[in-house]
């Protein structure tokens, strides 16, 4: 017997449709690449994303085609994602921080037909273009007045290209399991590997992340996604913020402490999300200038282990709730968040910081286990180290265009490559990457713990610990 509920496919265009209807006037503020602050709304982004889809269709882009984006966090980049998926194509976020040879490799491997890019990256693409045979057109995120002279193939300024569409477009009818996004990870050995997200996985992942014990999103929040859209699916913020009507403050290319502080203060940011290096830069600015954040309540930290000293500084000196998160590109990407469970609600001081240095517990849709090298499950006692493995509706089962034989274990779990402990309350702590772990006399030594000890010294800004082979 089956239920009698409507068959309502989980498609990404439903997210921006909902945002346009329910939160049409909610602002999306960006620091534009050209310089000035730009203001738009979810209603306008919904209308422009329909034009993007319509215009791509006129250029011959069809279901399953890959469209690359090489761009910072702005409204244009955001609306391009919805336009690309709305025509049935696949957005492929290219990380400009990769080596040029890696960028060439992944664009060719993905067989991107179109590249949409910011002004910043035009010179880079000009150097690489003759090695990118699949690319038919370059669309530069700017207007005619700021469009540079370029020899890029069929290059056109985005605003003029978009003006040729009227937005009278019907979203592509797709299976919810259809490919929606492609992101290559360099955190593995060999060439970068492509993770291919589906409409269904992105929508479900965004729904789960918005819950109170994860990102805690609402229409009353203002979110600053310092994490780039080109990094690990933007931690799903490009979907979860419109889904719940949270205001977006997009930093563009200016990620220095002064610029972030200005945007936080002028736009009333309540939560910001980024990697530890960015927050270290912001902390230095606050300390040097003697400033405080007047509206920020919470700071989401991920991408790498956050030094204890950094958590202590923001928690104790600035009164912010620092939430450690963990995940990977292969997980869409977030897998855990370090919110405080009810049994720890009264924790204070060092005990609370101890909890917050952990990477948190899995939210609904993610299952975890730790195993030994033989694949046998290990206890959740907070002490035993093991290989961290995950399963869930937004966890990859294979890499794009690769031989994926035996990528999952017998129970369907993916090996993250991290070494971790999990305690009896479900909190997970990353101790190392399996390829970086230091072994001495059969004992595992956590490089992250040593780094934390080093960074805790007042004269040390950042530290990296690298294992070195020794005859003893």
Model confidence over 252-272: pLDDT tens digits?
999 999 999 999 999 999 999
Which residue in the list 79, 176, 267, 330 is annotated as catalytic? 330
Report the percentage of the chain scoring pLDDT > 90: 87
Q: Is-contact 357 430, C-beta < 8 A?
A: no
Q: Which fold has domain 255-455?
A: Rossmann fold (3.40.50)
Q: What is the pLDDT of residue 1?
A: 97
Would you say residue 446 has pLDDT above 80? no
Q: How many CB atoms lie within 10 A of CB 417?
A: 18
CA dihedral (339, 343, 346, 347) positive or negative:
negative
Contact 265, 294 (CB under 8 A): yes
397 is catalytic: no
CATH topology of domain 12-201: Rossmann fold (3.40.50)
To which residue do tokens 């999952």 refer? 408
- The answer to whether the pTM exceeds 0.85 is yes
Q: How far is it, in rounded angstroms, from Cα 24 to Cα 351?
A: 43
Largest CA distance in the chain: 71
Q: Is 439 a catalytic residue?
A: yes
For residues 237 and 215, give the distance between their C-alpha atoms in angstroms, rounded to a whole number. 9
First to last CA, the chain: 66
Mean pLDDT calculated for residue range 79-84: 98
Distance CA 400, CA 49 (A): 26
Active-site residue, from 120, 153, 297, 444: 444
Q: Exactly one of 212, 405, 439, 443 is catalytic; which is it?
A: 439
Average pLDDT, the chain: 94
Residue 436, pLDDT > 90, answer no
pLDDT of residue 437: 63
Active site residue 150: no
> 428 pLDDT band (50/70/90 cuts)?
very high
CA distance 80 to 465: 40
Looking at residue 305, its pLDDT comes to 84
31-81 pLDDT tens trace: 999 999 999 999 999 999 999 999 999 999 999 999 999 999 999 999 999
449 — pLDDT class (breaks 50, 70, 90)? confident
330 as an active site residue: the answer is yes
Task: Note the pLDDT of residue 463.
Answer: 84
Tell whether the model's pLDDT for residue 441 goes beyond 60. no
Contacts of 332 (CB under 8 A, 6+ apart): 197, 201, 202, 205, 233, 236, 394, 395
Residue the block writes with tokens 């004269």: 459
Q: Say yes or no to pLDDT of 439 above 70.
A: no
Average pLDDT for 93-111: 96
Q: Length of the chain, please?
A: 472
Query: Which one is catalytic: 120, 185, 188, 384?
Result: 185
HEC profile for 174-219? Answer: CCCCCEEEEEEECCCCCCCEEEEEEHHHHHHHHHHHCCCCCCCCCC
Domains 12-201 and 255-455 share a fold: yes
pLDDT at 189 over 70: no
Average of pLDDT values for 437-457?
A: 69
Q: Do the Cβ atoms of 176 and 198 come closer than 8 Å?
A: yes
How far is the C-alpha of 142 from the C-alpha of 54, rounded, in Å? 19
Identify the pLDDT of residue 452.
72
Is it the case that residue 442 has pLDDT exceeding 60? no
Residues 6+ apart with CB under 8 A from 372: 378, 386, 387
Give the domain ranges of the chain.
12-201, 255-455
At residue 462, the pLDDT reads 80
**Torsion angle in degrees (nearest 10) through CA of 377, 380, 386, 391:** 70
Reported as a single tens digit per residue, the pLDDT across 129-177 is 999 999 999 999 999 999 999 999 999 999 999 999 999 999 999 999 9
CA distance 81 to 161: 16
Residue 384 contacts residue 370 (beta carbons within 8 Å): yes
Q: Say how many C-beta atoms besides its own lie within 10 A of residue 3's C-beta.
A: 5
């Amino acid at each position: 017997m089956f239920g009698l509920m409507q068959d309502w496919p989980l498609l990404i265009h439903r997210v921006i449709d909902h945002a346009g209807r329910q939160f049409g006037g909610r602002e999306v503020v960006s620091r534009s690449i050209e310089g000035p602050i730009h203001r738009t709304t979810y209603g306008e982004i919904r209308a422009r994303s329909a034009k993007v889809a319509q215009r791509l269709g006129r250029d011959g882009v069809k279901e399953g085609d890959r469209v690359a984006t090489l761009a910072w966090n702005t409204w244009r980049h955001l609306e391009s994602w919805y336009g690309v998926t709305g025509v049935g194509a696949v957005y492929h976020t290219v990380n400009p921080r990769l080596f040029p040879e890696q960028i060439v490799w992944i664009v060719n491997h993905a067989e991107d037909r179109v590249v949409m890019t910011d002004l910043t990256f035009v010179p880079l693409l000009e150097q690489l273009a003759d090695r990118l045979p699949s690319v038919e057109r370059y669309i530069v995120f700017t207007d005619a007045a700021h469009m540079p002279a370029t020899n890029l193939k069929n290059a056109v300024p985005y605003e003029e290209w978009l003006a040729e569409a009227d937005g009278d477009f019907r979203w592509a009818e797709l299976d919810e399991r259809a490919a929606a996004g492609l992101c290559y990870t360099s955190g593995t050995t060999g060439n970068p590997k492509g993770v291919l997200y589906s409409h269904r996985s992105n929508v479900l992942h965004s729904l789960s992340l918005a819950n109170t014990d994860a990102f805690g999103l609402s229409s009353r929040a203002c979110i600053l996604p310092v994490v780039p859209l080109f990094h690990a699916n933007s931690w799903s913020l490009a979907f979860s913020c419109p889904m719940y009507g949270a205001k977006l403050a997009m930093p563009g290319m200016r990620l220095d402490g002064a610029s972030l502080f200005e945007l936080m203060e002028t736009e009333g940011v309540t939560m910001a999300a980024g990697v530890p290096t960015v927050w270290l830069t912001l902390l230095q600015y606050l300390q040097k200038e003697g400033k405080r954040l007047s509206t920020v309540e919470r700071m989401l930290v991920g991408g790498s282990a956050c030094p204890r000293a950094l958590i202590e500084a923001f928690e104790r000196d600035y009164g912010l709730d620092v939430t450690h998160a963990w995940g990977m590109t292969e997980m869409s990407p977030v897998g855990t968040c370090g919110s405080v469970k009810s049994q720890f609600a009264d924790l204070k001081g060092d005990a609370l910081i101890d909890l917050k240095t952990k990477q948190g517990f899995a939210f609904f849709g993610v299952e975890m286990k730790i195993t030994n090298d033989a694949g046998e499950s290990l206890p959740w006692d907070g002490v035993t180290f093991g290989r961290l493995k995950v399963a869930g509706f937004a966890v990859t089962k294979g890499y794009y265009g690769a031989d994926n034989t035996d990528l999952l274990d017998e129970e369907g779990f993916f090996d993250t490559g991290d070494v971790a402990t999990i305690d009896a309350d479900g909190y997970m702590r990353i101790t190392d990457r399996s390829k970086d772990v230091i072994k001495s006399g059969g004992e595992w030594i956590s490089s992250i713990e040593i780094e934390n000890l080093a960074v805790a010294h007042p004269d040390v800004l950042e530290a990296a610990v690298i294992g070195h082979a020794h005859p003893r």
